[in-house]
Structure 1
């Protein structure tokens, strides 16, 4: 079997439909069917069960799906490593980042990376599914909330940081040096929607204290939340680093939460079996240093 046949096979797996897979590949449906039959003849087992107009993977097909993806990834890694050797750089590094960190925190580091690796394309992708994106090879590196250990991944612990109450300077609590988590209960808040990791951490901490937060508005970006706080729509609860590294024009105050505040534990992850380019290795080092500050 060759990688072209594996690509054809994986396309059929994606669609479970020969015509749709053929259209995606830019070949005719008979040609695709013939190549799959050649592959099945070589392996000595059917890869798909054809049930009327529907197809499903056989046990042999499920096995080839696992190893076929690894074959294509190995080919990609081999080509990338050789191209890097020939060019002395280049290529692409895909970094998955939580939305709040991508808004403000990491842009200076991206500029620093480009200055040192101008021929390497950096793709910074906002996502909540950091570990899944890394495992699916959608991104090369990811920075997210610490997850359960996985032997397919290299997981590097970064810093842990508490959440703080962020308020407008005219807010009744603006003069306080600290607040207790319980004091958040009556406040109108602007927050990420439920399902966002930061929102879930805050909700969990509040439930453990015996209350639920009340939101007056919800948005999906850190910048919009801070604008809403600036407009005195409500307060918000965000990671300690957000205002420290965020733009100064918001002119907001971050008040520490003293008793059992929500805390996020960050980690950097990449697949253990992937080729790591020089640019990716350097970016990994810089990210570790950045989050140690």
Structure 2
């Protein structure tokens, strides 16, 4: 069972369509079908049920997919280790980060990383499914909300960070030393759409205490929210450290939230049993320092 056939199998499993998988792989559909039949013959059982034009993975196919991810990751690890023997400054680092943190806060750190490792290809992804991306080997490192302990992962706590109210300095709210979430039911708010982690953290606290917050506008990026606050459209509720890193918003002030307030707990995660390059280690250390400084 070679990794090429596993790669073919994984593509069919992901697309559940032989023609689309073949196009993705850059091979002909008959060639792909033949390779899957050979793999099935080698294993002695079907990997897919073909019902008319529909393709459905069998139980054996689902099982092979789990091990296939590990096989392909082991191959990538081996190649990465060999490359590092040739040069410690080659390879790729894939990083998954929550959207609000990737939006613009980490760019200076990425610049510093590229300065030290000019040959490293750094790929940073914005996602709310950080842990899932790490567990599926789609990324090497993840920065996300703290989750339950998992023996498959290395989980490094990055501290806790309260949310605060961000308002324009001319707003009547800017005169307050602190506010409660319930007070904000009477004020214009701009927030992430429902379903975003930052929005859900706020909504969960409000619902627990019997009220909801209304919004006048919803956008999907932290920088857009700050621009709306800057323009006086409304206030927003964001992690305290969001404003710490920047001097580009001189007209925005943050106000602590008293009483029940949303708090997020962050962690760095990566797969426990896999090769970790020097570049990975360096980026991990910088990320840990960055977030611990921000949440302290």
TM-score by length of 1: 0.93
C-alpha separation in 1, matches of 2:58 and 2:265: 41
Greater mean alpha carbon deviation, residues 233-242 or residues 138-147: 138-147
2:34 maps to 34
Corresponding residue for 2:291?
Answer: 291
Separation (CA, whole Å) in 2 of partners of 1:205 and 1:64: 42
Identify the residue that residue 189 of structure 2 maps to in structure 1: 189
1:149 aligns with 2:149: yes
Residues 226 and 250, structure 1, Cα contact 8 Å, conserved in 2:
no
Q: Distance in 1 between matches of 2:111 and 2:280?
A: 15
Q: Deviations over 1:219-267 (max 9, x none)?
A: 1111111111111111111111111113433421111112121111111
1:100 corresponds in structure 2 to: 100
Between the aligned partners of 2:224 and 2:55, the Cα distance in structure 1 is: 46
Q: 1:20 to 1:257 in 2, by over 3 A?
A: closer
Of 240-249 and 198-207, deviating more is 240-249
Which residue is equivalent to 2:110? 110
| Secondary structure at 1:248 match in 2 | coil
- Correspondence list, 1:113-262, <5 A: 113-262=113-262
User: Any unmatched runs of 5+ in structure 1?
Assistant: none
User: Aligned partners of 1:112, 1:137: CA distance in 2, in Å?
Assistant: 25
In structure 1, how many angstroms separate the alpha carbons of the residues matched to 2:185 and 2:49?
57
Give how far 1:39 is off.
2.0
Q: Which runs of 4+ in 1 moved over 4 A?
A: none
How many angstroms apart in 2 are the aligned matches of 1:206 and 1:287? Answer: 31
Counterpart secondary structure, 2:144: strand
The CA distance in 2 between the partners of 1:16 and 1:138, in whole Å, is 19
Contact 1:163 1:262 in 2 (8 A): yes
- Residues 60-101 of structure 1, C-alpha deviation per residue, up to 9 Å, x if partnerless? 322222212211111111001111111222111111111221
Maintained 8 Å contact 1:227/1:250: no
Aligned counterparts of 2:262 and 2:99: Cα–Cα separation in 1:
18
Looking at structure 2, the residues matched to 59 and 126 of structure 1 have their Cα atoms a distance apart, in angstroms, of 32
Question: Shift of the alpha carbon at 1:20?
Answer: 3.0
Unaligned runs of 5+ in 2: none
| Secondary structure, counterpart of 1:188 in structure 2 | coil
Task: Name the SS for the 2:275 alignment partner.
Answer: coil
CA distance in 1 between counterparts of 2:250 and 2:226 reads 7
Change (3 A) 1:286 1:31: same
The alignment status of 1:43 with 2:43, answered yes or no, reads yes
